[in-house]
C-alpha cells in the first residue's frame, strides 16, 4: 500500500511539473521569449579555423572562468569536442562563470557552434527589406554558400544583460577566429556586416545585432494621411518588451532614434514603465506608453508609444489584464 501511495505521489508530482512546464512555455510564446537564442554566420567559402585560437578567444570574451579542480587541465574553458570517429563538427562550450540556478543546483550556461544546411538568400527576404543599415546585404547573401549556427543552451535563466553578454562574447570569438561574410540574428531578423558589428560592439552598442528597428508604410486603412509604423524586434526574445509607434507626419529618423533610446532604456532598467506613464525625447515632449501586443509580427509584447494628436495613428486600449511577466 505504501509503495502504491508513493507511486501515486510521484505521478502527481510529475503531472504538476508537466502542467507548470506547459504554462511556462505558453507564457513564453505569448510574450515572445526565446528559450534558445540563435545566430547564423554566412560564408562565401567553407570556414576553416584553429580550435586552439577559438578557445583562447572564447575564454577572453566570456570572462575569466572558474572550474572545479578535477576539470582543470591548463585551460579555463570546458569544451565538448566530437571524437575523431564522429560525423559532426559541433563544438559545445560550458561557460563556467555563467551559472544558472535550477532545482537540482547550479549549471553552467552553454553555447554550441555547428555547421548547418545552407539557406538561399530568398529565405532572408524580410531581413533584407529592413537592412537600411547595410544596402549590400542581399547581394552578399547571394554569394554565400556555407553557414554555421551559434546557439545558447540552458542560458534562458540568465538575466537579459548576462545572456546577451555571453552570446555576444562567443560571437566575437568566432568572428575573430573564422571571419564570415554576413551575420544573421534570428531573434531580431537582422542582417549585419561583420566588421560593422564588431565596431558597434567595441563602441558599446550592445544591442546593435540583438535589436532591429523596422519601418513600415501602412497600406489599405483608408486614411487620407500617410500612415507609418515603426517598431523594434528582438528585445522580447531576451525577456524585455519591444517598442512600437504607429503614427502620422513625423520624421522617421527621429522616431527611429527615439525608439532606439527607449529600447536601450528598457534593456538597461527592465520592464519598469507602467501603463499611462510618459517617456519622451525632451522634457517638453512626452509620449504616453502602454503595453500591447505588436501590430506587426512576430507575436510578442511591446510598449506602444503615443506621440499625441495629430500624430498618433492608433488608439491605445486598456492595459493588458494578464500581461506576461519575464
How confident is the model over 232-260, as a mean pLDDT? 96
| Cβ neighbours of 97 (radius 10 Å) | 15
> Cell triple for residue 54?
577559438
The model's confidence at residue 319, banded by pLDDT at 50, 70 and 90, is very low
SS3 category, 279:
strand
- Residue 326 scores a pLDDT above 50: no
Measured CA distances, 166 to 18, 68, 111, 307 (Å): 29, 20, 9, 36
Amino acid 282: pLDDT = 75
The rounded mean pLDDT for the chain is: 85
Give the Cα separation of 144 and 212 in Å (integer): 22
> Cell triple for residue 32?
515572445
How confident is the model over 41-48, as a mean pLDDT? 96
Can you give the residue ranges of every domain in the chain? 38-202, 212-306
For 48-52, 179-183, 195-199, which range has the lowest pLDDT when averaged over its residues? Answer: 48-52
Chain-centre distance for alpha carbon 240: 10
| Percent of all residues in the chain with a pLDDT value above 90, rounded to a whole number | 67
Tell how strand 105-116 and strand 91-102 pair up.
antiparallel
Residue 303 · residue 286 · CB < 8 Å: no
Highest mean pLDDT pick, 6-20, 78-92, 296-310:
296-310
- Cα-Cα-Cα-Cα dihedral sign, residues 109, 39, 234, 204: positive
Chain-centre distance for alpha carbon 75: 29
Tell how strand 301-306 and strand 242-248 pair up.
parallel
Highest mean pLDDT pick, 7-16, 51-60, 216-225, 297-306:
297-306
Amino acid 191: pLDDT = 98
- Nearest-10 crossing angle of helices 160-177, 194-202: 130
For 126-140, 180-194, 277-291, which range has the lowest pLDDT when averaged over its residues? Answer: 277-291
Q: Which residue has the higher pLDDT, 146 or 52?
A: 146
For 19-28, 31-40, 226-235, 308-317, which range has the lowest pLDDT when averaged over its residues? Answer: 19-28
Give the Cα separation of 244 and 45 in Å (integer): 38
Amino acid 74: pLDDT = 43
The predicted-structure confidence for 100-127, as pLDDT tens digits, reads as follows 998 888 999 999 999 999 999 999 999 9
Amino acid at each position: 500500500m505504501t509503495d502504491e501511495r508513493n507511486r501515486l505521489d510521484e505521478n502527481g508530482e510529475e503531472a504538476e511539473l508537466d502542467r507548470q512546464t506547459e504554462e511556462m512555455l505558453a507564457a513564453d510564446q505569448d510574450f515572445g521569449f526565446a528559450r534558445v537564442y540563435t545566430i547564423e554566420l554566412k560564408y562565401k567559402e567553407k570556414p576553416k579555423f584553429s580550435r586552439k585560437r577559438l578557445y583562447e578567444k572564447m575564454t577572453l570574451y566570456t570572462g575569466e572562468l572558474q572550474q572545479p579542480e578535477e576539470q582543470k587541465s591548463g585551460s579555463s574553458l570546458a569544451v565538448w569536442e566530437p571524437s575523431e570517429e564522429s560525423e559532426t563538427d559541433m563544438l559545445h562550450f560550458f561557460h563556467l562563470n555563467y551559472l544558472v540556478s535550477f532545482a537540482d543546483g547550479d549549471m553552467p550556461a552553454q553555447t554550441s557552434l555547428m555547421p548547418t544546411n545552407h539557406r538561399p538568400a530568398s529565405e532572408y527576404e524580410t531581413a533584407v527589406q529592413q537592412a537600411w543599415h547595410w544596402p549590400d546585404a542581399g547581394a552578399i547573401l547571394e554569394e554565400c554558400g556555407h553557414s554555421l549556427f551559434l546557439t545558447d543552451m540552458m542560458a534562458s535563466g540568465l538575466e537579459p544583460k548576462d545572456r546577451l553578454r555571453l552570446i555576444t562574447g562567443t560571437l566575437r570569438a568566432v568572428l575573430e577566429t573564422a571571419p564570415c561574410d554576413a551575420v544573421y540574428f534570428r531573434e531580431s531578423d537582422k542582417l549585419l556586416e561583420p566588421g560593422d558589428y564588431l565596431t558597434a560592439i567595441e563602441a558599446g552598442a550592445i544591442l546593435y545585432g540583438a535589436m532591429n528597428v523596422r519601418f513600415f508604410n501602412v497600406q489599405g486603412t483608408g486614411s487620407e494621411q500617410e500612415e507609418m509604423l515603426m517598431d523594434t524586434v528582438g528585445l522580447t526574445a531576451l525577456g524585455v518588451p519591444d517598442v512600437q509607434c504607429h503614427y502620422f507626419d513625423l520624421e522617421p529618423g527621429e522616431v527611429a532614434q527615439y525608439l532606439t533610446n527607449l529600447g536601450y532604456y528598457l534593456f538597461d532598467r527592465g520592464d519598469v514603465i507602467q501603463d499611462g506613464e510618459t517617456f519622451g525625447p525632451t522634457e517638453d515632449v512626452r509620449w504616453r506608453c502602454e503595453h500591447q501586443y505588436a501590430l506587426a509580427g512576430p507575436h510578442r509584447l511591446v510598449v506602444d508609444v503615443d506621440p499625441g494628436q495629430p500624430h498618433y495613428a492608433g488608439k491605445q486600449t486598456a492595459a493588458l489584464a494578464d500581461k506576461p511577466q519575464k
